[in-house]
Amino acid sequence: MRSSISIFWRRKDSYYKVLLTRCKRCGRASFFARDVCPYCGSSDVSIVKSSGRGRVVSYTVSYFRTDSNEEYLPLVIALVRLDEGVYVTGELRDVEPAEVREGMEVEAVLRRYSSDDPYGLIYYGLKFIPVIKRC
């Protein structure tokens, strides 16, 4: 990911928060933040922040290598149904691929995505991790 610092700053909310569009006409939520409801076309919408919690619906394990992801392979890419009823895809971290299960509770957290070079910007973004149960 290469972009200027100013562009990255302007887009930071979409990189660091799970933002949803909640329609005031039909009441449905959708992922991502936008000006128009994708279901009914209404522009009477509000942007809300998701809890970032949900459950794994399905997942796949990727061994596809790029210039910037070699240290993270294999990647677990999950389809997550958020508590708000919205489906999103994202990388699942802090879990071995063999431990991933459909229905697993996950939450969105900030994790490193990439860096421009060894001395450049380090980019962070949202990824999912299993929810840690506390007693």
Considering the complex, state which of residue 24 and residue 101 has its C-beta at the smaller distance from Zn ion: 24
User: How many helices (H) does the chain have, and how many strands (E)?
Assistant: 2, 8
Q: Is the bond leading into 74 cis (omega within 30 degrees of zero)?
A: yes
- Quote the tokens at residue 74: 């294999």
Q: Is 40 in the site for Zn ion (CB under 5 A)?
A: yes
Q: Least distance in Å: CB of 32 to Zn ion?
A: 15
51 burial (CB, 10 Å; 0-12 / 13-18 / 19+) is: exposed
Rounded to whole angstroms, how far apart are CA atoms 47 and 97? Answer: 33
Looking at 17, 19, 26, 83, which residue binds Zn ion (CB under 5 A)? 26
Looking at 39, 113, 123, 124, which residue binds Zn ion (CB under 5 A)? 39
Q: Is 48 in the site for Zn ion (CB under 5 A)?
A: no
Q: Is 20 in the site for Zn ion (CB under 5 A)?
A: no
Q: Least distance in Å: CB of 108 to Zn ion?
A: 24
Q: Least distance in Å: CB of 47 to Zn ion?
A: 14
Helix runs in the chain, H state only: 5-10, 12-16
Query: DSSP letter at 13?
Result: H
Considering the complex, state which of residue 16 and residue 87 has its C-beta at the smaller distance from Zn ion: 87
- Which residues of the chain form contacts with Zn ion (CB under 5 A)? 23, 25-26, 37, 39-40, 42
